[in-house]
Amino acid sequence: MKYAAPALAALAVAEPAFAQEAAPDAVGGGTAYILNTLLFLIGGFLVMWMAAGFAMLEAGLVRAKNTSTQCLKNIGLYSIAGLMFWVIGYNIAYPGFEGPGLIGMADGGPIYWMQGVGEADVETGYSVASDWFFQMVFCATTASIVSGTLAERIKIVPFFIFVTVLTGIIYPVVVSWEWGGGYLDAAWGFSDFAGSTLVHSTGGWAALIGALILGPRLGRYGADGSVNVFPGTNIPLATLGTFILWLGWFGFNGASQLAMGTVGDVSDVSKIFVNTNMAACAGVVVAIIATQLRYGKADVTMALNGALAGLVAITAEPLAPTVGHAIIIGGIGGILPVIFVPLLDKLKIDDVVGAIPVHLVAGIWGTLIVPWTGDATFMGQLVGVLLTMVWVSVASGIVWFILKATIGLRPSAEVETAGLDIHEIGVEAYPGLANQN
């Protein structure tokens, strides 16, 4: 019996090799269609689950008197994104460019038509509906980023109006430049595998401009330059939200391989999972060490943001890097919130959940580092970052200023002090926390 274990181990190693030699490299058209569609659907509902992660993270990091409003904003923005991407967004994002255009519209009218019952075009490689669904949940993610930054001091109606424009026009235009085969792809060879710039920096720029125009929460910054800390109401909830986002990211990055019909595709998806996970792990560890060294104690919210920043950083190219590369990319991403959260406070830019360092700054970092391991040039990546900055900042600024000049963005000082829950949606703060500042 003492030789049984080595023999079985040798057999276990040998058998997969024989099986791999006998297996075809790719499956047939119908089977590939099924597997590719399944990848889109599984990836799509994992990214949809990220909406719950954003909601829990934000609800945990705001004060109790604003938690219900924050939850309403998150389920509302997801629903608006779905409707707007159906009506107009997808057609802008994927216009069928034949050259380096900047803005285009797909043929066939304002609505993206689905296949009929029982219909399937195997030549496309996947079902039309699965592709639309997968792309739509990315759109909703962009809006979630804005929600966290502007928490606790923006009225619901102007926020939802902004989300309507963001998900229907602003975000789809950026997507069209790369994933839609437009200007950045055709003229510069810009590469953004799963959206460090197209999704995360787009949301980050929109959030930054909104924060500048909206201003900080009342009492956040003292006249002497001091920063008043407003503790979140539920750190366990925020931690749960981070783990939900981490889980959803496997769909975000993994399904962006866009195919599962060959041995190579499945292997690549597996590698993307590992790199995505390791980048997040590195982000957490670096954030913990950095806060311990800087403040003499670890900061749980920085650890949460370290995970998310690591995830955002690896999103631009999660396939080409080795695991060692992914750890470095994610680790550097994890230190960015530790650096930029205090910097934003010095500039009196109030970012409630740290979304600007996590999604904007780490998104830029992840995009610019792609040439280190991927097939891209630094100049092409820089042009993509700058063009996104200009378009999203200008377009968002126009919308924010119009809303501020017409219906207003902020509630009254009295309402903000009392909390948005009771005045915006008629919900009292949780028992025992009604007097929380």
Cα–Cα dist 282/322, whole Å: 14
User: Rounded distance, CA 175 to CA 184, Å?
Assistant: 10
Q: What percent of the chain has pLDDT over 90?
A: 78
Q: With pLDDT > 70 as the criterion, what percentage of the chain qualifies?
A: 88
Average pLDDT over residues 226-241: 95
Residue 101 pLDDT class (50, 70, 90 cuts): low
| Three-state secondary-structure class, residue 435 | coil
For residue 428, give the 3-state DSSP assignment.
coil
User: Residue range 249-267: average pLDDT?
Assistant: 95
> Mind listing the pLDDT tens digit for each residue in 288-320?
999 999 999 999 999 999 999 999 999 999 999
Please tell me the number of Cα atoms within 13 Å of 205 on its side-chain side: 25
Provide the CATH topology of domain 29-104+122-425.
Answer: Ammonium transporter fold (1.10.3430)
| Cα–Cα distance list, 207 to 56, 127, 148 (Å) | 19, 34, 8
Q: For residue range 143-180, what is the model confidence (pLDDT) as tens digits? A: 999 999 999 999 999 999 999 999 999 999 999 999 98
Q: Give the pLDDT score at 428.
A: 72
Picking from 176-185, 272-281, 394-403, 420-429, which range would have the lowest pLDDT averaged per residue? 420-429
pLDDT of residue 413: 95
- Give 277-311 as a DSSP string: HHHHHHHHHHHHHHHHHHHSS--HHHHHHHHHHHH
Query: Does residue 399 have a pLDDT over 50?
Result: yes
382-393: pLDDT as tens digits: 999 999 999 999
pLDDT of residue 95: 82
Look at residue 12 in the predicted model and tell me its pLDDT.
Answer: 35
pLDDT of the residue at 106: 52
The per-residue pLDDT for 105 is 54
Global pTM reads 0.89
Q: How far, in Å, are 47, 124, 139 from residue 127 at the CA level?
A: 18, 7, 19
Q: Which helix (H) or strand (E) holds 45?
A: helix 29-61
Q: Give the integer Cα–Cα distance in Å for 362 and 279.
A: 12
CA dihedral 335, 338, 339, 343 (to 10 degrees): 160
Tell me which range, 87-101, 115-129, 214-228, 357-371, is most confidently predicted by mean pLDDT. Answer: 357-371
Q: Where are the domains of the chain?
A: 29-104+122-425
Averaged pLDDT, 128-141: 94
| pLDDT classification of 117: cutoffs 50, 70, 90 | confident
Digit-coded pLDDT (tens) for 33-85: 999 999 999 999 999 999 999 999 999 999 999 999 999 999 999 999 999 99
pLDDT of residue 45: 95
Q: Does residue 107 register a pLDDT over 60?
A: no
At 201-220, the pLDDT tens digits run 999 999 999 999 999 999 99
What is the average pLDDT score of the chain? 89
Amino acid at site 324: G
Residues 57, 148 contacting (CB under 8 angstroms) = yes
Decide if pLDDT at 99 tops 50.
no
Distance between CA atoms of 420 and 275, rounded to whole angstroms?
40
Is residue 306 within 8 Å of residue 246, measured between CB atoms? no
Q: How far is Cα 200 from Cα 207, in angstroms, rounded to an integer?
A: 10
Res. 324: pLDDT tops 90? yes
Vertex 302, ends 299 and 308: CA angle to 5°? 150
Question: Around Cβ 225, how many Cβ atoms within 10 Å?
Answer: 9
